[in-house]
């Protein structure tokens, strides 16, 4: 298993006391077609997510997308608005890609949480692949890959963030 990655954002912020969003990209921040071709421009659904992150400033983002395998955290941060970039604090490790693993993304998230001493953190995953998580997983906001981060997933994610805020 790969080592958990973590970066320190602007102003020495580490995110240790923050709530967490584990973020997929394809099928979430832009739609993909049935053959997994891209049906619209990259990151076309990022503005509403950033709006939500501005409302809930206690939430930091960990990239769980396969994009983390080809781009550094610094490169991924550049897709986000300047006021959000420092809240992209890391990426999940990759579990051996040759191993047949069920709920792969969920296990990678758990590895990041454990590797960063955050196993007690409030967190939610935003993803479009249900097979990457156990069935009925309560910490998953599932998007339709053809619609990406739409109003329904916006409201569902917002309800998770509200629950985080109420728990303080």
Contact 141, 164 (CB under 8 A): no
What's the rounded mean pLDDT across residues 118-145? 96
pLDDT at 92: 98
The number of domains in the chain is: 1
What mean pLDDT value characterizes the chain? 88
Place of tokens 């728990």: 167
Which among 81, 84, 90 is positioned nearest to 62, based on CA atoms? 90
What tens digit of pLDDT does each residue of 12-44 get? 234 456 999 999 999 999 998 765 555 557 899
Instruction: Phi first, then psi: give them for residue 126, nearest 5 degrees.
Output: -115, 110
The pLDDT of residue 11: 26
Instruction: Return the CATH number at 159.
Output: 3.40.50.1000
Burial 34-61 (b: 16+ CB within 10 A, else e): eeeeebeeeeebbebbeebbeebebbbb
CA Rg value for the chain: 15
69 pLDDT above the threshold of 90: yes
Q: The domain containing residue 11 runs over which residues?
A: 5-166
Whether the CB-CB separation of 95 and 128 falls below 8 Å is answered with: no
pTM of the full predicted structure?
A: 0.87
**Which regions of the chain does DSSP assign to beta strands (E)?**
5-6, 19-23, 59-63, 88-91, 123-127, 140-142
């Amino acid at each position: 298993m790969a080592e958990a990655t973590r970066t320190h954002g602007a102003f020495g912020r580490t995110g240790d006391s923050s709530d967490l969003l584990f973020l997929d990209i394809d099928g979430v921040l832009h739609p993909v077609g049935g053959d997994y071709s891209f049906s619209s421009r990259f990151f076309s659904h990022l503005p509403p997510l950033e709006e939500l992150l501005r409302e809930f400033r206690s939430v930091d983002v960990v990239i769980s997308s396969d994009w983390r395998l080809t781009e550094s955290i610094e490169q991924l941060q550049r897709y986000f608005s300047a006021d959000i970039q420092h809240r992209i604090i890391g990426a999940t490790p990759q579990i051996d890609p040759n191993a047949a693993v069920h709920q792969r993304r969920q296990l990678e998230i758990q590895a990041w949480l454990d590797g960063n001493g955050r196993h007690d953190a409030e967190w939610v995953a935003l993803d479009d692949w249900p097979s990457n998580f156990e069935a009925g997983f309560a910490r998953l906001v599932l998007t339709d890959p053809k619609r990406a981060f739409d109003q329904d997933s916006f409201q569902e994610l917002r309800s998770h963030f509200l629950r985080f805020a109420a728990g303080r």
